[in-house]
Amino acid sequence: MRFNDRVAVVAGGGGMGLNISNDLISAGARVSLADLKPEPDGLRGEAGSFRYYRGDLTDETFVRALINKTAGEFGGIDYLVNTAGVLWFDRDTSFSNMDLGVWDQVFNINLKSFVLTSRYAIPQMQKRGGGAMVHFASIDALRAERKPQDAYATSKAAVIRLSKSIAIQFAADHIRSNTILPGPVLSPMQDRWRDKPDLQAAVAEAIPLGRLGTTQDQANACLFLLSDEASFITGSELIVDGGLTAQ
Ligand SMILES: NC(=O)c1ccc[n+]([C@@H]2O[C@H](COP(=O)([O-])OP(=O)(O)OC[C@H]3O[C@@H](n4cnc5c(N)ncnc54)[C@H](O)[C@@H]3O)[C@@H](O)[C@H]2O)c1
């Protein structure tokens, strides 16, 4: 899969966003990566092949500037990848008694950031005659648990549904929109597993393919869905979880 002369905006520069950005740059794309945090050490590419924007993806002014500067500097936008998200284990619990301020914050980050990036990227893709988007939801969108993170899970379910709506509303513009549903992945989001091999082994044991997911597993799926090889796939979900939800 080659992405020469294509331009991507990657929203969220944590474990997956960084891996996806580096893979897109290696495959010939120019990439704008955006996150609240300072630029990650591992972002690599030839001079002029990437830009890093530090800011809040729930802030419409920041998102508008991110999209406009990317289009201005790189000549347009072909791809959007939404990876920004938060999973606040301690504060995001049951809808029945959790702090509703936390509920709103989770929805702002996990869903509204996706609304904003898509809203501003779509006109740029229309100018190019098409484009592709990948949004990261979670297998948590598909099934409930005794110990819930209700804001996280339901915001991720909403991501799936909004992606379908984008796919249908903009199919005539040749803009594709798909969702990836990762299972457990070793990344900064799952810092609780870091340096805890026993805990990692216990999670891996529950996964039919016998291991935790990697950010590379997710990046591979993402680049496929963005690529021309996936040109007939839109409004769809790809579960990348080692078989966890199939069992
Ligand atoms: N890691 C997993 O096990 C897992 C499983 C299922 C789904 N996911 C989803 O995949 C996506 C990527 O996950 P990851 O593992 O790379 O997580 P991560 O925590 O490494 O990265 C998420 C990034 O989002 C950024 N972010 C949060 N709020 C922001 C804001 N308001 N503005 C800008 N940036 C903001 C964070 O700074 C962080 O760098 C997330 O949406 C996550 O919910 C992850």
Counting Cα atoms < 13 Å in the Cβ hemisphere of 142 gives 15
- For atom 1 of ligand 1, the residue with the nearest CA is 185
Q: What is the atom index within ligand 1 of the atom nearest the CA of 82? A: 41
pLDDT in tens, 36-92: 999 999 999 999 999 999 999 999 999 999 999 999 999 999 999 999 999 999 999
Contact 220, 1 (CB under 8 A): no
- CA 130 to CA 6: how far, in whole Å? 12
Q: What is the atom index within ligand 1 of the atom nearest the CA of 37? A: 37
Nearest partner of 108 among 59, 69, 58, 71, judged by Cα: 58
Contact 124, 69 (CB under 8 A): no
Q: Give Cα 1 to chain centroid, integer Å.
A: 19
Q: Which residues are known to be catalytic?
A: 152
- CA 107 to CA 17: how far, in whole Å? 19
At residue 191, the pLDDT reads 86
- DSSP for 9-69 reads EEE--SHHHHHHHHHHHHTT-EEEEEESSPPPTT---STTSEEEEES-TT-HHHHHHHHHH
- CA 51 to CA 110: how far, in whole Å? 23
* pLDDT tens, N- to C-terminus, the chain (247 residues): 899 999 999 999 999 999 999 999 999 999 999 999 999 999 999 999 999 999 999 999 999 999 999 999 999 999 999 999 999 999 999 999 999 999 999 999 999 999 999 999 999 999 999 999 999 999 999 999 999 999 999 999 999 999 999 999 999 999 999 999 999 999 988 888 888 999 999 999 999 999 999 999 999 999 999 999 999 999 999 999 999 999 9
At residue 129, the pLDDT reads 98
Ligand 1 centroid from CA 157, angstroms: 16
Ligand 1 centroid from CA 78, angstroms: 22
Nearest partner of 66 among 49, 48, 53, judged by Cα: 53
- CA 199 to CA 192: how far, in whole Å? 9
- For atom 40 of ligand 1, the residue with the nearest CA is 85
Task: Give the binding-site residues of ligand 1, using a 6 Å CB cut-off.
Answer: 12-17, 35-37, 56-58, 83-87, 109, 136, 138, 182, 184-185, 187-190
Question: Would you call 213 helix, strand, or coil by DSSP?
Answer: strand
Q: Give Cα 218 to chain centroid, integer Å.
A: 9
Domains in the chain, CATH or no CATH each: 7-239 (3.40.50.720)
Sheet-wide strand order for 237-240 = 50-54, 30-35, 7-11, 79-82, 131-136, 175-182, 237-240
Ligand 1 centroid from CA 99, angstroms: 21
Ligand 1 centroid from CA 87, angstroms: 8
42 burial level (CB within 10 Å; 0-12, 13-18, 19+): exposed
**Angle formed by the axes of helices 150-169 and 100-107, to 10°?**
30
